[in-house]
Amino acid sequence: MGKVILIVSGKGGVGKSTLAAALAVTAAKKNRRTVLLDADIGLRSLDLILGLQNQVLFDLADCVNHRCSLEKAMVPHPEYPHLKLIVGGQMARPKDFQPRDLKKLVRTLSLGQDTVLIDAAAGLGRGVKSFAGLADEYVVVSTPDAVSLRSAERAAQLLMEARCNPWILINRVRRHLLPSGEIADPQTLALGLDLPLLGVIPEEAGIYTGMLKGTTAAEIEG
């Protein structure tokens, strides 16, 4: 069985989906059979981030409601043969998906892939709760500001209430502000949240430009 990784955030705007796309591309480049599941029901974005918006025929709702097979819902990436995307239903609602259907879907994906990355909806609602307990690893993404960290702490609490053990990943860190103490050291932030630190991603101006061109963070030089 492949490894299932759930990526969540307590609030929007922290770069969670961009990070999920970058991780998926990185895994695919290492010849790992990878599926990226856009679980932000009604607000999908990964097809745009990966430049696949014109290739989507079916979505997660079609698959769960048996309007298409799981294989047909997977959109292959033309540049990365080991990467496939399943988009969330743009017109669907989170309450349309039953936990048993999501559990079956994730398990089926894990049987045929090396890596399954689930990009959950931002916030503290069903996006976190629906997939809690279905993954092997849990990553909470936050930026180093107080509002994001507080939201990340709550998201982590929801996961721990479901007996999941999340990591914290600090994104968009402006490294030039660290020596002056304008932002706290990421390890200190993680300790304050009582969460293990998975990693630190520096602020990169090229990421926004890349998104406009359909380029993921994993493809940006520098």
Rg (CA), the chain: 17
Q: Residue 83: name the closest of 218, 221, 220, 222 by CA.
A: 218
Q: pLDDT band at residue 156, thresholds of 50, 70 and 90? A: very high
Q: DSSP secondary structure string, 153-206?
A: HHHHHHHHHTT--EEEEEEEE-GGGTTTTSS--HHHHHHHHT--EEEEEE--HH
Q: Where are the domains of the chain?
A: 3-219
- Residue 182's pLDDT band, with cuts at 50, 70 and 90, is confident
pLDDT tens readout for residues 10-21: 999 999 999 999
Instruction: Give pLDDT, residue 103.
Output: 92
Confidence band of 215 (pLDDT split at 50, 70, 90): low
> Cβ(170)–Cβ(161) under 8 Å?
no
* Poorest-pLDDT segment among 16-20, 111-115, 134-138, 211-215: 211-215
**Residue with structure tokens 């599926």?**
35
pLDDT tens-digit series, residues 62-112: 988 889 999 999 999 999 999 999 998 776 676 677 888 899 999 999 999
Render pLDDT for 47-65 as a digit per residue (tens, 0 to 9). Answer: 999 999 999 999 988 988 8
Kindly report the pTM of this predicted structure.
Answer: 0.90
Average pLDDT over residues 1-5: 95
DSSP 90: T
Residue with tokens 């799981």: 70
Which one is the CATH code of 3-219: 3.40.50.12280, 2.40.50.180, 3.40.50.300, 3.30.465.10? 3.40.50.300
- Tell me what pLDDT residue 212 has: 44
Dump pLDDT digits (tens) for 193-209. Answer: 999 999 999 987 665 45
Given the structure tokens 């009604």, which residue do they identify? 42
* CB contact set of 16 (below 8 Å; sequence gap of 6+): 7, 8, 9, 119, 122, 141, 171
